[in-house]
Amino acid sequence: MILGATSSVAIELAKIYAQKEYSLQLAARSTDRLNPLKSDLIIRFNGKVDLFEFDVENTSHHHQFYNSLSVKPDIVVCLFGVLGEQDEAQHDWTKALQILTVNYVGAVSILNIIAKDFKSRRSGIIVGVSSVAGERGRQSNFLYGSAKAGFTAYLSGLRNQLSQFNVHVVTVKPGFIKSKMTANITTPAILTATPRQVAQTIVNAVAKRKDVVYSLWIWRWIMLVIKLIPEIFFKKLKL
Ligand SMILES: NC(=O)c1ccc[n+]([C@@H]2O[C@H](COP(=O)([O-])OP(=O)(O)OC[C@H]3O[C@@H](n4cnc5c(N)ncnc54)[C@H](OP(=O)(O)O)[C@@H]3O)[C@@H](O)[C@H]2O)c1
């Protein structure tokens, strides 16, 4: 199951898993936009693809959403996310709340429900796509970054709790991705992954039951350096 299935990465992920003959459950807030992808996957890979309406902000609907699935998933990948505008969101609580809800609160809401089911079945893999932005707060995007930091810590705790129940949790930390989310931002090519690369990172991490993976790998080392900069210098940087 892919939650946030209209994401640029999700589309590539669905193609890879369809080619591997997995049955797909694609959930997004507008399934109309997924119909062309569904047709494509069925024609090219003879895939089994079901579409579901899912809004991560609509937390009161999450139980109903999951309980209504006639077939429960074995692997769940969370790909929803909102970057938002830091300046705008600092002055408009509605926008800030959206960033916090999509990237953290709503993710916790749906994953609590899925984790409970996986725990009782003693199987399953949960993949949370977080971000390197959650590793250290920066003035340009700390609302998004703080929500992703919360999500990363949540995934870490969930992995710790569920490992004894044979449920595995993967944390994916992309750096820049050339996707809808960054369409208006220029990012350095060498540090920017394609949606296909991130999708492949997810597939590999699931297959090898990795705990925490970066996409691209160089981001692990970039973030290590960023985290090591003493606060007295870091606070003076325009990042
Ligand atoms: N792009 C980057 O540079 C970057 C870097 C690090 C981490 N990430 C993370 O990678 C993941 C995938 O992002 P992407 O780059 O593929 O961006 P994307 O194409 O913009 O995908 C984000 C997805 O989140 C969905 N979404 C937003 N609000 C939602 C809601 N209320 N309910 C359900 N779905 C909702 C969007 O749905 P709609 O199509 O309906 O808007 C969209 O499909 C996200 O978690 C993102 O935070 C991205």
Tens-digit pLDDT profile for residues 186-204: 999 999 999 999 999 999 9
pLDDT score recorded for residue 180? 93
Q: Please give all residues whose beta carbon lies within 6 A of any atom in ligand 1, as ranges.
A: 4, 6-9, 28-30, 54-57, 79-82, 102, 129, 131, 174, 176-177, 179-182, 195
Q: Report, as an integer, the average pLDDT of 171-200.
A: 96
* CA proximity to 176, closest of 156, 190, 196, 164: 190
pLDDT surpasses 90 at 228: yes
How high does pLDDT run on average in the chain? 97
Classify residue 173 by its DSSP letter: E
Split at pLDDT 50, 70, 90, the class of 47 is confident
Grade residue 181 by pLDDT with cuts at 50, 70 and 90. very high
Q: Backbone phi, then psi, for 153, in 5-degree steps?
A: -65, -40
Can you list the positions of beta strands (E) in 85-131?
125-129
**Ligand 1 center to residue 14 CA distance, Å?**
15
Q: What integer is the mean pLDDT of 61-74? A: 98
Residues 114-159: tens digit of each pLDDT: 999 999 999 999 999 999 999 999 999 999 999 999 999 999 999 9
Q: Stretch 95-114: mean pLDDT, rounded?
A: 98
Q: Ligand 1 atom 19: the closest Cα is on which residue?
A: 7
Average pLDDT over residues 38-46: 95
Tell me, in angstroms, the distance from the centre of ligand 1 to residue 161's CA: 27
For ligand 1, atom 18, name the residue with the nearest CA. 7
pLDDT average, residue stretch 85-96: 97
Contact 17, 45 (CB under 8 A): no
C-alpha span between 209 and 231 (Å, rounded)? 35
Strand 176-177 to 75-78 pairing: unpaired
- Which of 56, 143, 154, 179, when mutated, tests ligand 1's pocket best, judged by the most ligand atoms within 8 Å of its CB? 179
Q: How wide is the angle at C-alpha 113 spanned by C-alphas 109 and 119, nearest 5°?
A: 135
pLDDT reading at 217 higher than 90: yes
Phi, psi angles (nearest 5°) of residue 103: -85, -20
| Spacing, Cα 211 to ligand 1 middle (Å) | 21
pLDDT of 108 > 90? The answer is yes
C-alpha 159 – ligand 1 centre gap (Å): 23
Q: How far is the CA of 224 from the centre of ligand 1 (A)?
A: 25
